[in-house]
Amino acid sequence: MVKMLKSQDADFEQQFEILLKENRNTENDVSGVVKDILKDVKINGDEALLRYTEKFDSLTLTPETMRVSEKEIKDALAACSKETLDALEIAANRIRKFHIRHIPEDDSMTDEIGVALGVRWNAVEAAGIYVPGGKAAYPSSVLMNAIPAKAAGVERIIMVVPSPKGYLNPLVLAAAHISCIDEIYKIGGAQAVGALAYGTETIKAVDIIAGPGNAYVAAAKKEVFGTVGIDMIAGPSEILVVSDNKNDPAWIAIDLLSQAEHDEVAQCILITDDADYAKKVIDAVEEHLKTLPRAQIARSSWENHGCVICISDMAEAPALINRIAPEHLELALDEPRRLLSDIRNAGSIFIGRYTPEAIGDYIAGPNHVLPTSGSARFSSGLSVLDFMKRNTLIECDRASLAKIGPPAMKLADEEGLQAHKKSIGIRLDD
């Protein structure tokens, strides 16, 4: 049975803290294995990469067959229905239009004493996109990771995707084609992350790695961070729905299950100000579970990690939302924007009764790669900024250096850094 909390109960704060501290990242520690794989790939390059691909994916490759060919991409496009390709194109265009608006502008100024200051932005040169492989593959993930990189101006985008026993999902290749990905390789796991980070004889190293994966991929991304940038380490999926009693319970129930069907350790939470309505949603969840193909997964998530929170007044909701800091937040209310100004922590916010979270997963435009496990308190979803970096610019002439140089020299002197002091003073000496 799903957990129920009531804000009026004496032990609510204690129970709510237990909910917040629940650890759903239950994967076994694989860091030792991953470190060995990465070291092997770093030293032995292609040879190690191909060896692990044969071991873990039952696929024998050579350096020449590692890369997906143009023929394989054409065959994949031919295997997809026109309706599906059209849907991918619509999604890609919407994602592209949204993200390109957020490319930051360069800035420059000259202050009152004549020092020229500025910021300029430029894209990283190469990005690696990791995509889970096999039959349970997600072309939407390809679009969401690759299109912001392309919009940012990344010159070279590489995709790695495991192809167990040689199987490549046609939709994944179609999405890669639509996203204008430059190179695709049939490799996955920690070894693929290592190839992207360190480079091999066949695969040139990249500057940043983005995209979801299993525990081995997540551990590998943690390990190579610093050698390359990474997007984030994503945990199990989450949704928090804030609903009044004017919504059809079946709508809210299926919204909750839209995340529960991802994974047994996904989390779905309902906040409502009507206890009787909460029971109707719980009953509707049971009805949906009778027909969902992934009902076993969804039920495990709902019963073990789901929660229904009953509050006395919707004014209580923002404080609870900010403490949960959910990946996805739905505000299914009459006047949802009235709560927005008090909500600080959420990956993506879905406003109103006709905005299910699932529309953001595919086609709305904003990215579906979002912070999980409370990290929305300090981080944001994937954007063009993840594939860009900024340079600050400073330019003094002799007159302006003469004005700010002496106090800088004083600070250098106080820190005992005489070369710093002299590098300024030597320019001011006649």
d(CA 24, CA 3): 15
Question: Helix, strand or coil for residue 325?
Answer: coil
**Nearest-CA neighbor of 328 among 234, 192, 209?**
234
Question: Helix, strand or coil for residue 34?
Answer: helix
d(CA 158, CA 176): 10
d(CA 118, CA 276): 58
Which residues in 328-350 are b (16+ Cβ under 10 Å) and which e?
A: bbbbbbeebeebeeebebbbbbb
360 within 8 A of 273, measured Cβ to Cβ: no
Positions annotated as catalytic residues are 327-328
Question: Helix, strand or coil for residue 32?
Answer: helix
**Nearest-CA neighbor of 194 among 353, 83, 88, 43?**
43
Question: Helix, strand or coil for residue 36?
Answer: helix
